Structure 1
Amino acid sequence: MEKTIAVLPGDGIGKEVVAGAIKVLETVAAQYGHQFNFEYGRIGGVAIDEDGVPLPADTIQLCKNSDAVLLGAVGGPKWDQNPPHLRPETGLLGIRKELGLFANLRPVQAFPSLADASTLKKEVIENVDLMIVRELTGGIYFGTPRERKVENGVKMVVDTLVYTNEEIERILRKAFELAMVRNKKVTSVDKANVLETSRVWREIANEVAKDFPDVQLDHMLVDNAAMQLIRNPKQFDVMVTENMFGDILSDEASMLTGSLGMLSSASLSADGPGLYEPAHGSAPDIAGQNKANPLATILSVAMMLKYSFNLLEEGTVIEQAVNEVLNKGYRTADIASGNESVLSTDQMVEQVIKEIKEISK
């Protein structure tokens, strides 16, 4: 198999973790006889500095011409005071919109060997295995009007939460499809006691559920969902929700794994290339120090192999390699406790590569 991957390292530790993930992909290609071609582009702060905008037109075209996109991270204090159209995050929102990446999938799996890295009790997080499905191109992050204004001498600010019925239905349908190959349970998260958008969301969820009679559908208010994720995360299989709620809940769920450095993600469109990225940010405080945890990015390329290239065995081998490295006690600083071996970014990547070669002999 030959595939072209658009690589957007971005800012901060993005460059380091992406470089490690590419080494892993090259190892998989060598072991299984594939060819992955990597084409590089700029996004975020580095694009602002070099191109004057957070999402250059040639980056958009590069991504559209690829089979999948690998993204590191964007942002940093250097650009925090920029106007909205010149903030790194605007580039991230832009590429999601340009590629039609409406479905963000964030698997949350508690690795037994990392139980001590979480602040939660071991009995709460052991055997947790859930998927958060977040709508990614609608809602309050994209709605208009979005403005600051003065009316009758009073300063005001407006953000708009807007969804079409079609946008709601397609993300819910994706969640049900995923549940069919998992444990056949969907928890739809909303704020239907307050928001009209959530009331419509709940109505459409009930309609979509009729097409999936084998899947159990539960509704849960977002404030309760935030509590239940910590209280009893094992109750969830597939959790589906709108853009802002999903942003918050998926970051909360990272603590079930011990660190944001362990949380991978995939953003999928209806028919174009998917985008794969770690859930963590650019961590400018440790950028360039070879300390960053590359495992979330490595697990993200495992998702790429599965979801975009249908290379199920290869993706599973990467996941097994990560699990084996953790079982042997190797850690980066963010997940270390006790007397475990603390590795640099590069050293952790090399350990994963070693396990991939061993498993795929």
Structure 2
Amino acid sequence: MPANKKLLILPGDGIGPEVMRQVRRVVDWMDRRRHVSFDVAEGLVGGCAIDQHGVPVSDETMADAMAVDAVLLGAVGGPKWDGVPFDRRPEAGLLRLRKELGLFANLRPAIVFDALVDASTLKAEVVRGLDIMIVRELTGGVYFGEPRGITDLPNGERRGVNTQVYTTSEIHRVARVAFDLARKRNKKVHSVEKANVMESGLLWRQEVTKLHAAEFADVELQHMYADNCAMQLLKNPSQFDVIVTDNLFGDMLSDEAAMITGSLGMLPSASLGAEEGGRRRALYEPVHGSAPDIAGRDVANPIATLLSFAMMLRYSFDMDEDAKLIEGAIEKVLKGGMRTADIMAPGMARCSTTVMGESIVRELDKLAA
């Protein structure tokens, strides 16, 4: 079939190229077995782009990212580039991609596979069957608000300032993503802020309430303070389905939810832009970092990257059946006892990055037979 799905792969640094090779293996499998062809381009981002082009992401790569249907990124950074100027550090490449692609909604699922329920630090009965989606606003709030900076005061002290600021349109667009997701899940949204002590939090609560009444009355909406949400994620995480929150609280709460699952090597993410003309710019990436200490050793867990690819199929290409195939194959491999080092447990079979990828493709063959 002709390739009509344009995908840009940015392996990045550290273990990024190793885990991304397993995605290419699945892309090839889909072409062969599902008759789904992708027009795949590959580029540089992060430290490898600094080495090659002197910048963490080149204008040419940005142009490619703007032209495709979806971007899949591995990881960026490492101690090799610790001495570069702050605005040219590897992470600046990722920030530029997010900004120029207009990616305002970050989706972070926290799913506990039955086979890994004992990997969580929480009791099995608390986390079994857990499936939460955290929707974090990504381009506003205290990380981007003005004024900001560090100034010297006349009395010899210094003052650091960051500004938490949101507008109605910023709140509505990310809340709308959360409500739309909830409609396809269990029709329940928790909106999280600090309306009791922050005016921006009060605005957030008011605007989410207005949007819910106007467009999403069929979805259950509950409001929760961020500190209580942090506590409830540890006490009773199964009460949540979709959580929508701002940039700062989303940063912290999504990391907390991630660790409930037991390993960063299992966690995918998606960053989505506005839908325009039936098309939505998007970037997908595993939550884990570049892990330079294990790079090149073929021991990294590729599952988070493969699950990010599955999210891409679901949210960028409306290929839910294929996404479920990949997720099902991963679950089968885990139930069979195959483990990379980060999720290794007594009695399981330790395997390499490559072997994990091969095992998942074999399960895909069985599921698609």
Q: 1 CA distance for matches of 2:235 and 2:56?
A: 39
Structure 2 contact 106–272 (Cα < 8 Å) conserved: yes
**TM-score after normalising by structure 1:** 0.96
Aligned residue-pair number: 361
Of 289, 314, 328, the residue aligned with 2:336 is 328
Q: CA deviation at 1:67?
A: 1.4
Of 161, 177, 189, the residue aligned with 1:158 is 161
Which residue in 2 is equivalent to 1:205? 208
Deviations 1:9-68, CA, capped at 9 Å, x for gaps: 111111111111121122122111121122111112222222222222111101011111
Q: CA deviation at 1:126?
A: 0.3
- Map 1:328-347 → 2, pairs under 5 A: 328-347=336-355
Which residue in 1 is equivalent to 2:245? 241
Of 44, 50, 53, the residue aligned with 2:52 is 50
Structure 1 contact 2–34 (Cα < 8 Å) conserved: no
Which residue in 2 is equivalent to 1:225? 229
Q: CA deviation at 1:81?
A: 4.4
Q: CA deviation at 1:174?
A: 1.0
Which residue in 2 is equivalent to 1:138? 140
Q: Report the secondary structure of 1:130's partner residue.
A: strand
Q: Report the secondary structure of 2:255's partner residue.
A: helix
Of 173, 179, 182, the residue aligned with 2:182 is 179
Structure 2 CA distance for partners of 1:254 and 1:316, relative to 1, 3 Å: same
Q: 2 CA distance for matches of 1:346 and 1:66?
A: 28
Which residue in 1 is equivalent to 2:125? 123
Structure 1 contact 292–345 (Cα < 8 Å) conserved: yes
Structure 1 unaligned regions, length at least 5: none
Structure 1 contact 103–133 (Cα < 8 Å) conserved: yes
Q: CA deviation at 1:168?
A: 0.9
Of 163, 172, 181, the residue aligned with 1:169 is 172
Structure 2 unaligned regions, length at least 5: none
Question: Is 1:188 aligned with 2:188?
Answer: no
Of 269, 272, 287, the residue aligned with 1:268 is 272
Deviations 1:309-347, CA, capped at 9 Å, x for gaps: 111211110010001001101111111110200111011
Structure 1 contact 28–356 (Cα < 8 Å) conserved: no
Q: 2 CA distance for matches of 1:36 and 1:208?
A: 37
- Map 1:28-67 → 2, pairs under 5 A: 28-67=30-69
- Map 1:16-27 → 2, pairs under 5 A: 16-27=18-29
Q: Structure 1 stretch 305-314 or stretch 265-274: which is displaced more?
A: 265-274
Q: CA deviation at 1:238?
A: 0.4
Q: 2 CA distance for matches of 1:310 and 1:69?
A: 15
Match of 1:352, as an amino acid? I
Q: 2 CA distance for matches of 1:125 and 1:57?
A: 44
Match of 1:351, as an amino acid? S
Match of 1:120, as an amino acid? L
- Map 1:278-289 → 2, pairs under 5 A: 278-289=286-297
Q: 2 CA distance for matches of 1:47 and 1:140?
A: 29
Deviations 1:134-159, CA, capped at 9 Å, x for gaps: 11111222223332322324323332
Q: 2 CA distance for matches of 1:81 and 1:159?
A: 25
Q: CA deviation at 1:129?
A: 1.1
Q: 2 CA distance for matches of 1:108 and 1:231?
A: 15
Q: 2 CA distance for matches of 1:49 and 1:148?
A: 31
Which residue in 1 is equivalent to 2:367? 359
Structure 2 contact 30–37 (Cα < 8 Å) conserved: no
Deviations 1:175-208, CA, capped at 9 Å, x for gaps: 1111111111110111222222111111111111
What RMSD in Å do the two structures reach over aligned CA positions? 1.4
Structure 1 contact 105–134 (Cα < 8 Å) conserved: yes
Q: Report the secondary structure of 2:257's partner residue.
A: helix
Structure 1 contact 143–160 (Cα < 8 Å) conserved: yes
Deviations 1:101-154, CA, capped at 9 Å, x for gaps: 111111211101101111111001001111111111112222233323223243
Matched-pair identity in % = 54
Structure 2 CA distance for partners of 1:77 and 1:159, relative to 1, 3 Å: farther
Q: 2 CA distance for matches of 1:18 and 1:159?
A: 36
Q: 2 CA distance for matches of 1:54 and 1:89?
A: 7
Structure 1 contact 332–348 (Cα < 8 Å) conserved: yes
Structure 1 contact 261–294 (Cα < 8 Å) conserved: yes
